Amino acid sequence: MLDFVIFDYDGTLLDSLEITYQSFRKAFSELGYGDMGLEFFRREFSMNHDEMYKKMGVGEGRVKEVEDAWLDCWEEMRGDIRLFPQTVPALEKLRELEVGMGLVSDGRGLRIREDLVRFDIGRFFSVVMTREDAIERKPSPKSLLVALERIKKDCGECIYVGDRVEDIQAGRAARMMTGCVCNGTHKLEWMLKEKPDFIFSDVSAVPEIFG
């Protein structure tokens, strides 16, 4: 019986696309790599930046310079990032329905745990997995499998909800049900190719499958 939902964070619960894009765009422009288009960013961005850097023409010797420049821009803009307005009501509704919740993200743990306090949403999650908690990043299912071990749940009892192709691939590899939200990083047409079990306009629709 499905009674537990694990969420991705950025682009699923956190409305971070625009500011993440603008911070990378500013860093690349300042270092002379030209303008990064939004379409390129949406398709190529992942929490592992190396491939995106290569496609932007960044040589191996300049990766640290670009990463440092991006982090400076990110820190300048980070304070403007907010949760999607649907996030807290959806989490509260799931708790009313006695649905368990977890968070699995490839984002940095320090930043995410600061956000859980800042936005007062840590109270909803019985397990939180971040970049440092599993060696392999999505689409590897490793972080999801470790999360299942920690909460002592079978894969058939859980659904993984995210906003990227890699989220669906990771969930399927973990033999979980999968759902995609349509207001995050990847376009719906890209995610449909992975055949998610559920398609949500945003996280406000997630509680409906438990109601």
pLDDT digits (tens, 9 = 90+) for 151-175: 999 999 999 999 999 999 999 999 9
The domain segmentation of the chain, as residue ranges, is 4-15+81-209, 17-80
| Class of the CATH-defined domain 4-15+81-209 | alpha beta
Q: Write down the pLDDT at residue 140.
A: 96
pLDDT tens digits along 122-138: 999 999 999 999 878 99
Distance CA 170, CA 167 (A): 5
> Is pLDDT above 80 for 146?
yes
Weakest mean pLDDT among 34-38, 104-108, 181-185:
34-38
SS3 content of the chain, % helix, strand, coil (to 5): 50, 15, 35
Confidence of residue 35 (pLDDT cuts 50, 70, 90): confident
Strand spans (E) along 82-206: 82-83, 100-104, 127-129, 158-162, 177-181, 198-200
Q: Which of 89, 114, 124 is nearest to 7 (CA)?
A: 124
